[in-house]
Structure 1
Amino acid sequence: MRGLHGFIYFLLLWFEPVAPAYAQVPDILLAHIYHEGIDVREYLVSEKLDGVRAIWDGKQLISRQGNPIHAPGWFTRGFPTQSLDGELWIGRGQFELLSGTVRQSTPSENDWRKVAYYVFELSNAEGTFSERARQIERIVGNIHSPYLKAIKQFHVSDEASLKRTLDSIVARHGEGLMLHRADAPYVTGRNHVLLKLKPQLDAEARVIAHVPGKGKYLGKVGALLVETPQGLQFRLGTGFSDAERAQPPAIGSIVTYTYRDLTKNGKPKFASFLRVRPPE
């Protein structure tokens, strides 16, 4: 029996699953929500792209969860050895097409030709954000790749100008704005040096249960019981199509929802389902 146990142990070691290419989630900068009263002159502003966050590690693109993104070789040809942080993007209102494209393990040549990588940060680089933004422009300008772009950074004079810019972006079906402190060093984690401004707020939560529907939703899902990264649980019951109620997001999946504000207990007001976050 001892010999049999040893043989089984050998087999388990031999067939042990290979660890993923990136076991560690990249340490990246995450935004807080913009609030009135800040001095917007201290920030560089850019359009908030409704794309897929991606990190270029000098060799390949990886997702914010640390998984390889299978871009065609020609897409990243000529990209620098410098680590970059940015967004894969097709255009306004094209998130579903983009999501389907970047999730493919075997990339579609035709679909990827619609995508570009918009860089908004140099990972682990020194200097202020203003200096890093200028460096990004130099890197992109020297490479001349149609698939590598520097996201436009600009100043606004006051809060009224910021709101006019937001209205203009939203009117053209854009998502919102990002504000990055011009004097900020490179930092990671959720930090107030980076702010997002949208007409509606959004956040993500994990589905932990399906709540059965009643009345016209009998036999379908009436709501999702979700849990935020902070451990707050609440029901998400609006924003679904009939097809989504019939085939709701799987338990364990991450969903994005919109909301207007938070209650004094921290729960989102007027929360509405937006979409399932694609696996990364």
Structure 2
Amino acid sequence: MTIGEWYAQRAGQRLGSCGGGSQNIGQCQQLVQLYALEVLGVPGCPAFPVPYARLMMGTRTDYFTTVPNTPSGVPPYGSIVVFNGRVGGGYGHTGVAIEGSDTNVVRIIQQNDPMGSGASIKIYNYNNVMGWLVPKSQAVQPQGDNDVIINDNNNFARANKTHLQIRGRALDRGTFNAFVGKGWLTFIEALSDDQEANDHEAAATLGAVARRDNWQQQIYTLQDQNKVLQGQVDSLAKQVKELQAQIGTQTDDTKLLNGFGEILTKLIIRLGLKGEQK
């Protein structure tokens, strides 16, 4: 039986459980006693053998892990929330955590608040919350409620993978905690409705085209072609330098020959003139 199915059957009723006695019907503790038995399958009559709600903390360690309240803590869906003696006339209060809880408020199924009322859903702040009792094994977890995010490592891993797929980066614990107790659909919608998600989708689309058209191999081919062309350019540059050197040498030789020619011309002229004088 899921929590939703159980609550649908019990809503509005003043609940009691085995071992509670008729005088305790409608007390807050009787609701969680019955929940532990009918939904989680926790044995015992009653499941929590204590007289007051506030005394439930630290009990039934065979089936529950006791988690103290902290500023960043959020009770997992289906855990049992325990309030201290500042409420309930010194007896405390208790209820079953459901979706909608976060670091500011806790949303629970409870009874006897207001006094004499039957099973209902109510939201509280954490001022008087001592902590919560988390079912230890999957065998006693509420079944069929996988649409709700629970504060455990498995759900964080799933949320992180979803975050990577939609946003393209890892999920931090602070963001995850803000969605604990809420539905997976709410989480996915929040991740999708963001420019970062749009940018990641565009990049992923481009990446798909790159893989399909084998851009990586095309880049390698172009790099190889560039190496060949660069070799040809280097070879041509070398030839140009050699030609420039040859031109420089030819220029010096030409100047030398021209100098000899001028000297010979002058000698011939002088010799010719001397011949005419004789």
Name the TM tier (shorter chain). under 0.3
Q: Which has the higher contact order (CA 8 A, sep 6+)?
A: 1
Higher fraction of strand: 1
Structure-2-length-normalised TM-score: 0.22
TM-score normalised over the length of structure 1:
0.22
Which structure has the bigger radius of gyration? 2
Flag the structure with higher helix content: 2
